[in-house]
Amino acid sequence: MLQERVQNSDAEQPSGSTPLIALRAVSRLYDGGAIAALTNVDLAIEAGDCVAVVGASGSGKSTLVNLLCGIDFPSAGTVMWEGKAVRTQREWARLRRARIGIVFQEFNLIPTLTALENVELALFGRGLSAVRRQTRAAILLERVGLEARMHNLVTTLSGGERQRVAIARAVANEPRLLLADEPTGNLDSASAAIVTDLLFKLREDRDMTIVLVTHDDALAARCARRVRIKDGWIVENVYPTSVAPSIVSEAAS
């Protein structure tokens, strides 16, 4: 089978600085090696990058995001945060608590809690008092336009509203890296537009690095960099609007 594979280092804009996060020769195998979700992936993401990860369903996009935030672990290879290998659950938990925010397609909110309480959850472990947690969560919900619904149970909110709660929760700790796994995948087009605008506005306001997994070409086009995955391989890694892509094709079986 022919595969196109990209040498990631070739695709990156020259910066000379240490990447914010990087995968080094990372593979992720399931079922004792029978299924390869990702194979020998090298990917470096610089601070301030806006990366769209595209590809067909089952290509390995979500696995890539899971590895980038440490909720999954590579079968081989290393994930580096600011040049240091991150290996333990404890290290990853610390990063997710302060440096990495995640937005899921399925929202992943706690159904028994209100919008405010869901955002507040992300502020636990930061040494804040309950009042300060609440105040901060309320401000975040105001920013995503949910001030009127912050005391509603999340189960009573629309899909778009839930995703905005999830975004508020993801940015609660002012992360440097925001990972969004198909954030508009479960939304109607109007809600999707609101959520997309919100994500990019937050990125601009906070100068966050963003990695966006999407099927939506229009959404992907808003990112400066595009990474395409196919069958667990990175087959494209380009800055379509700035630097010419450097794509290496090679045969792989």
Which residues would be at the binding site for another protein (CB under 8 A)?
A: 66, 69, 71-73, 89-90, 93-98, 100, 102, 104, 108-110, 112-113, 117, 120-122, 124-125, 130, 133-134, 169, 173
Query: In this complex, which beta carbon is closest to another protein, that of residue 16 or of residue 90?
Result: 90
- DSSP labels, 172-221: TT--SEEEEESTTTTS-HHHHHHHHHHHHHHHHHHT-EEEEE-S-HHHHH
- Return the structure tokens found at 221: 């086009």
Query: In this complex, which beta carbon is closest to another protein, that of residue 71 or of residue 224?
Result: 71
Which residue do the tokens 């999830």 mark?
Answer: 166
Residues facing 238 on adjacent strands: 226
Nearest approach, Cβ of residue 114 and another protein (Å): 9
Nearest approach, Cβ of residue 28 and another protein (Å): 10
Query: In this complex, which beta carbon is closest to another protein, that of residue 173 or of residue 184?
Result: 173
Nearest approach, Cβ of residue 12 and another protein (Å): 26
Angle at 93 between CA 54 and CA 225, to 5 degrees: 25
Nearest approach, Cβ of residue 152 and another protein (Å): 15
Nearest approach, Cβ of residue 150 and another protein (Å): 13
Residues facing 212 on adjacent strands: 52, 180
Nearest approach, Cβ of residue 189 and another protein (Å): 26
Query: In this complex, which beta carbon is closest to another protein, that of residue 20 or of residue 68?
Result: 68
Picking from 188, 143, 185, the residue whose alpha carbon sits closest to that of residue 164 is 143
Query: In this complex, which beta carbon is closest to another protein, that of residue 92 or of residue 233?
Result: 92
Taking the C-alpha atoms of residue 210 and residue 143, their distance in angstroms, rounded to an integer, is: 18
Query: In this complex, which beta carbon is closest to another protein, that of residue 118 or of residue 209?
Result: 118
Q: Do the Cβ atoms of 33 and 189 come closer than 8 Å?
A: no
- Return the structure tokens found at 252: 């792989």
Query: In this complex, which beta carbon is closest to another protein, that of residue 8 or of residue 118?
Result: 118
Taking the C-alpha atoms of residue 208 and residue 171, their distance in angstroms, rounded to an integer, is: 9
Dihedral angle over CA of 226, 240, 48, 51, nearest 10: -10
- Return the structure tokens found at 77: 């290879």
| Angle separating helix axes 159-170 and 130-143, nearest 10 degrees | 130
Nearest approach, Cβ of residue 181 and another protein (Å): 10
